[in-house]
Amino acid sequence: MQAPTLIPLDTEYDWDREEAYTTDKFFAMTDKVATKYFYGFFHPLGQRLIEGSLCPDELRFLASQEYHYFASTTWWNAMKIAQSDTLEQQQLLFGPFIDELGYNLVRQNGEIAHTLLFLRYCEGLGLKKNDVINAVLVPSVILAVTELRRIAYDRPQFEFIACSNLVVEKMRPIHYRKLLKTFSTHYSWVPESSLTFFKVHSELDSEHTSIGRRIVESYAYSKRDQDAIFSAILRSLSLRLVMYDGIEAAMNYPNRVGIKVWPNFPREPWPHPKKS
């Protein structure tokens, strides 16, 4: 049997270089790698979703696995603010945080929390709310969600913003605009009223990306910090590709081990609030 081979990720970024790259050159490299290896276009499961070749049960399974990933965004955005180094950064990040938390909190007729919008999408697929929240998860989803939370809590703020704003939020406007077209042509059985989650992100995330780049750029003046930023982008790409690897494997090979989430996931199991 021939030994497996891996094709190195395509980037010209030089880890041994001592001199910092110019801002334009550095962000050109981050943009290139984020665009090429974004899971929504690069991963085979992401490609099938965009092509419209997932059957209804596969679409439901994917959504049930993605729920806890998307449900964590309010905590991630809260930590961007909590880990900020200046008042200006907090002010820049407040708007995106409110977007995620629900603009209905501060404006009449504002959109509800993005987590709830994703649940509305799941319900449009025919899934029940409690079944989604309590779904058995593939191990790669557990690891992706908890690792992103660890980076948000434990690493410098600009590293997590690189993980988030310079990768997924950069790509989501393009990704979700194409996905909305796919829903209209290939998944037309999904009610349009349940697709607000994708419509909102196809518009808002362009602004979030520019905010994130402004903050990250203020730290990207030394090669050491550029290394930290670039490694954060690679970790971001990797953990999402791994998450989709696990979901795809569960689709292709039934009866794999899954994890029934503990109370208060992805936080520690105890203490957790008493259910009302």
Question: Using one digit for the tens of pLDDT, what is the confidence trace for 79-123?
Answer: 999 999 999 999 999 988 888 888 776 677 778 889 999 999 999
**pLDDT-based confidence at residue 204 (cuts at 50, 70, 90):** low
pLDDT of 206 > 80? The answer is no
pLDDT of 64 > 70? The answer is yes
> Which has more confidence, 7 or 181?
181
**Predicted local confidence at residue 106, as pLDDT:** 66
Residue 206 belongs to some domain of the structure? yes
Residue 154 belongs to some domain of the structure? yes
Residue 94 belongs to some domain of the structure? yes
Specify the CATH number for the domain of residue 58: 1.20.910.10
260, β-bridge pairs: 136
Residue 252 belongs to some domain of the structure? yes
Question: Using one digit for the tens of pLDDT, what is the confidence trace for 210-268?
Answer: 888 999 999 999 999 999 999 999 999 999 999 999 999 999 998 899 999 988 898 88
Region for 52 from its dihedrals, namely left if φ exceeds 0, alpha if ψ lies in -120 to 50, beta otherwise = left
Question: Using one digit for the tens of pLDDT, what is the confidence trace for 157-166?
Answer: 999 999 999 9
**pLDDT-based confidence at residue 207 (cuts at 50, 70, 90):** low
Domain containing 248 equals: 23-260
**pLDDT-based confidence at residue 55 (cuts at 50, 70, 90):** very high
Burial 99-124 (b: 16+ CB within 10 A, else e): bbbbbeeeeeeebbbbbbbbbbbbeb
Q: How far apart, in whole angstroms, are the C-alpha atoms of residue 20 and residue 11?
A: 16
**pLDDT-based confidence at residue 269 (cuts at 50, 70, 90):** confident
How many domains would you assign to the chain? Answer: 1
Q: How far apart, in whole angstroms, are the C-alpha atoms of residue 216 and residue 210?
A: 10
pLDDT of 205 > 60? The answer is no
**Predicted local confidence at residue 182, as pLDDT:** 97
**Predicted local confidence at residue 175, as pLDDT:** 95
Residue 93 belongs to some domain of the structure? yes
Residue 274 belongs to some domain of the structure? no
Residue 234 belongs to some domain of the structure? yes
The lowest-confidence range among 45-59, 184-198, 208-222, 225-239 is 208-222
Residue 184 belongs to some domain of the structure? yes
Orientation angle between helical segments 196-217 and 87-101, nearest 10 degrees: 170
**Predicted local confidence at residue 268, as pLDDT:** 85
pTM of the model: 0.92
**Predicted local confidence at residue 276, as pLDDT:** 67
Which whole-number Å values give the CA distances from 247 to 25, 44, 97, 136, 262, in the listed order? Answer: 35, 11, 28, 12, 19
